[in-house]
Amino acid sequence: MAIEILMPSLSPGMEEGKLAKWLVQEGAEVSAGDIIAEIETDKATLEFEAHQSGVLARLIVPAGTDGVAVGTPLAVMAGDEDGEMEAGPAETPEPHSTSPARQPAAVTASPGRDNAATAEQAAMESANAPRIFMSPLARRLAREAGLDPAGLSGTGPRGRILRADVEAALTPDKHADARPAGGSHAADREDTGPVSSPADDDMVLKVFEEGSFRRVPHDSMRKTIARRLTLAKTTIPHFYLTVNCEIDTLLELRGRLNAAAPIKSAAETSEPAYRISVNDMVVKALASALAAVPNANASWTESEMLIHEHADIAVAVALDGGLITPVVRRAEQKAISVISNEIRELARRARNKELRPEEYQGGTTAVSNLGMYGISEFSAIINPPHGTILAIGEAVQKPVVKNGAIVPATIMRVTLSADHRAVDGALGAQLLAAFRNGIENPLSLLV
């Protein structure tokens, strides 16, 4: 039986990806586990593995095609019992079109051969039938309204359910039947196409003289960042708390710990086993604070509050054209040296687009540090489903009053952004106070 190989969803919220490269040719025999293609998401480049044996009868999407929607057929696999299939001319799908899954996907995807479990899960998700395609906004509105997506009729490309379809189900439009099948209003496309409408683009372009700028098309990372941050700022009621932390004792302890670091191995390298940074100690202090104030380690959902058992802390890593937030899991249980090496390795692999999806998905909170750029203070945007994020500013020497005398001290300003649905002001203040206590009494972080 011929089976369509579909573009899988490799991360929550993923709507499209880039088919970077085919590693096998049309007509080639493929065994289960063979890597047949590479897929680029906004976060990483993943190897695409065949989930079953057969003949790759037809390549539908050419290599290098960007904006391939989840669920779009990429190729056709003929099972061993089918023998050779005649390969017709390949048709390039619309970059933003979405195709419902009609057959089980025949491949899995992973950043390496050791990630078959994650890849297999992605393929199994593609195999679930019937599959309902909805825009993220439409899905959220349907969930909030208690609507069953199976009972909704989609007017988007290939039956995709859009925001207007959910709104029409809640408030029937007498003119709804007059809309052509597959058509949609411009507002319906706000989360499936460009971040701004063509009219908005035209208004912006009119402001500037032709030839005074260059156009840089949005890549998948930029579009994902735009959608997620717009969603975060428009749906999460942020509030902010700022505190000054004196870090002279922390800097002294950091220096002593690094000076005492053993050499990794004389045979391998002369590098120390760890090089602790201020940011590493910030992550540990936040983890300890969440352990001390567990109700602040929360995520909001429409039906209930999620109070997390562990401090899984995402750390913002700047990339060319964007950023990524790999997660340090169970940071409250790890030594600072372990956290330091883990962050360093995650950041290295993030810049090389080698992270596995489970290494940057999830988390319960995040840390964003712009102090190295001389930024004294800023407010970070919460990354849903997190309930908080900590923004770290530059550490500078300032005069402070102690016991009636003016003395110098190194001060670091820290701002907590919190989701007011999950964290009240007093609870956020308790969390920030616990964090400050750990920073100013860093020996407590070693216990």
Specify which residues 310 forms β-bridges with. none
Question: Using an 8 Å Cβ cutoff, are 363 and 390 in contact?
Answer: no
Residue with tokens 């908005």: 200
Show the tokens assigned to 279: 């940011």
Q: How far apart, in Å, are the Cα atoms of 246 and each of 113, 126, 282, 356, 399?
A: 46, 52, 13, 37, 11
Cross-strand partners of 401? 406
Residue 107 · residue 49 · CB < 8 Å: yes
Q: Sheet holding 54-59: strands in order across?
A: 2-6, 73-78, 54-59, 29-30
Beta strand 313-315 pairing with 365-369: parallel
Enumerate the active-site residues.
420
Residues of 344-357 as b/e, b for ≥16 C-beta within 10 angstroms? Answer: eebbebbeebebbb
